[in-house]
Amino acid sequence: MSAPEKRRAPDHEAVVIGAGPGGIAAAILLRRAGVEDVVLLERAGGIGGSWRDNDYPGVGVDIPSLAYQYSFARKPDWSRVFAKGDEVLAYHEDVVDRFGLRDAIRFHTEVVRERWDEKAHLWRLETADGEAITARFVVSAVGAFLREKADPGIPGLEDFTGVVQRPTSWNHDVDLRGANVAIVGTGASAVQIVPAIAPQVARLDVYQRTPVWCLPKLDRRVPSWAQHALAVPGVAAALHGVSLVGIEVGLRLMTQTPEAIGRPALRTMDAGARAAYARLLERTVHDPETRRALMPGHGPAVKRPTMSNTFLRAFNREHVHLVTEPIERIAGSDIRTADGAARDADILVLATGYELFSDPESYEVGAVVGRDGFDLARFFGEHGLQAYESVAVPGLPNRWMLVGPYSWTGSGWHALVELNARHIARAITAARARGATSVEVRPEALDAYHADVRRRGRLIDWYYTELHAGVRSYYVNSQGDVPYIRPASLLQARRRSTRFPLDDYRFDTAPAADGRARFTRAARTTPATAR
């Protein structure tokens, strides 16, 4: 190998950004595909992503533990049907050690810039510490919830004289006993926090903007005989498959039912669900006024449904109060609402949500720059969020994202990241087999795929953006699109992840002496702007 070629060699063949559940899956499946030189760059000091950061009281999964695991690393001995956060984190730690990934992870390494080097056919990554790292292939394994919202938009928050707690940075040294606590939000985190802390505090004020659907949770300990049964090969996989049947049928109906039939069917479904939920509230919540305030005015799928056996019952405690008046401002220790009331608080819990991967504002201009100055943030801002099979964007050779536009199939998180990781491993394997140093999805392949996504998602779009217009939901982004949900069933998505046409990608050889790439296949250059 000549000296110039040596200079072009990257530090690593593949870099995975993030060591959460997605990054772990990507690294393992890449190694299984023969890519040995894989390094994970993790900005924090441990693995696990959300399960590392979120250790607030009551944290746990909101889908059965059986569905919250990798297909290649099943855990038969979950202690509960819905595992708590510490057990989920321990599971991921065990997977990392079981598959020998620990030495491949670089902690406290935050990637802030990614730039494609066309001459060398590699990515140049810049870290927050100013270090430069090069890689032939890059997989962004950043999850759906990018960052906790730093500013919930409450005037006077910076002047609050008490203690502020957040789900992702909970200070367990703060004593809740006998304290007056205010929690802002009634989403998934709040639904777990409220009943967990209610028995300890003197008063708990829950500030609600929009009522949430909170369904009963069949949560109980898993007996030892059931753990032994789940350890029998094939049993856990079969039970998981059965549990997905309802989701599979639902997604197929949403994507294949004619709108003339689907629209009235969805209206009927919402009406029936709301009637059933009203009966649940009547049986569960004693105070009629609180019941009315907890009743959602939207369908069960508009906002992320939550599950708890104790959240609704918490409002039967005399010292737990539901506040529906908007917060006007915070003054010292007082939280003042639009009706003129002021309620003091020693501790303020901000369960106010996250910046999401599905919002174009979450992407920073200049953070990811590909071929000929292509900027991912500008592309998403100008053309809407879109990616071929949710993972690849033209203009970004050798780069994929595990959680991209239209990626969630209604399944557990591990199923999502696995199927996308399999797609990525197949594309990289094909490039290596061809001796290619650059693999990039064709613009026309994205255009055709995205047009099909929009066509199949018409009923989903109608449900979220027309039937329930005005309801704030993270499924609908600031552009009025619904790029969170993939309009395909899990089985369809799985099939596509291993059978997508390889001709949808362009494979290029190393640059020639004049710096121009030699193409192994003819390529079109149609801009990928279809919506």
Tell me whether residue 4 is exposed, middle or buried, using C-beta atoms within 10 angstroms of its C-beta: 0 to 12, 13 to 18, 19 or more.
exposed
Residues 187 and 334 in one domain: yes
CB of 247 closer than 8 Å to CB of 406: no
Last residue of a domain, one of 294, 327, 354: 354
Residue 225 lies inside a defined structural domain of this protein: yes
Pair (381, 393) in one structural domain = yes
Residue 494 and residue 390 share a domain: yes
Cβ 159 vs Cβ 332: under 8 Å: yes
Structural domain includes residue 80: no
Task: Transcribe 465-530 into DSSP letters.
Answer: IIITTT---TTS-TTS--TTB-SS-HHHHHHHHHHS-GGGEEEEEEE-TTSPEEESS---------
Q: Which of 94, 47, 48, 85 is nearest to 65 (CA)?
A: 85
Residue showing tokens 């629209």? 263
Would you say residue 96 lies in a domain? no
Largest CA distance in the chain: 80
- The pLDDT, as a whole number, for residue 2 is 40
191 & 300 share domain:
yes
Q: Cα separations (Å) of 194 from 153, 201, 279, 325, 421?
A: 22, 10, 22, 19, 36
pLDDT at position 20, please?
97
Same domain, residue pair 189 and 209 = yes
One domain, residues 349 and 373? no
Question: Do 181 and 309 reside in the same domain of the chain?
Answer: yes
Q: Do 297 and 443 lie in a common domain? A: no
- 305 and 400 share a domain? no
What is the CB neighbour count within 10 angstroms for residue 173? Answer: 5
CA end-to-end span of the chain = 45
In a domain, 123, yes or no: yes
Tell me the three state secondary structure of residue 179: coil
**Domain count for the chain:** 2
Residue 504 counted as domain residue? yes
Residues 207, 185 contacting (CB under 8 angstroms): yes
Tell me whether residue 82 is in a domain.
no
Instruction: Report which of 169, 168, 152 is spatially closest to residue 160, judged by C-alpha positions.
Output: 152
Judge if 161 and 256 occupy the same domain: yes
Q: Long-range contact list for 235-241, CB < 8 A, 24+ apart?
A: 236/66, 236/74, 236/76, 237/71, 237/74, 239/66, 240/66, 240/67
| CATH number (domain holding residue 376) | 3.50.50.60
Whole-number pLDDT of residue 474: 86
Sign of the C-alpha dihedral computed for residues 40, 64, 61 and 464 taken in this order:
positive
Neighbours of 498 (CB within 10 A): 11
How far does CA 351 lie from the centroid of its chain? 17
Domain with 193, as residue range(s), is: 157-354
Domain boundary among 354, 369, 404: 354
Say whether both 293 and 404 belong to one domain.
no
* Average pLDDT for runs of 10 along the chain of length 531: 54 97 98 97 96 95 92 96 97 98 98 97 97 98 88 92 96 96 96 97 97 93 94 89 78 87 95 97 97 96 91 98 97 96 97 91 96 97 97 98 92 91 98 96 98 95 94 90 91 92 93 43 34 32
Q: For residue 6, what pLDDT is reported?
A: 45
389 and 476 in a common domain: yes
Amino acid sitting at position 503 = D
Instruction: Tally Cβ neighbours within 10 Å of residue 471.
Output: 17
Residue 309 lies in a domain: yes
Query: How far, in Å, CA of 394 to CA of 443, rounded?
Result: 6
Global confidence as pTM: 0.92
User: The tokens of 504 are what?
Assistant: 């949808």
Decide which of 322, 354, 386 is a domain's last residue: 354
Whole-angstrom CA distances from 436 to 14, 52, 117, 398, 490 are 14, 37, 15, 10, 31
56 belongs to a structural domain: no
**For residue 223, what are the contacts with CB-CB under 8 A and spacing of at least 6?**
none
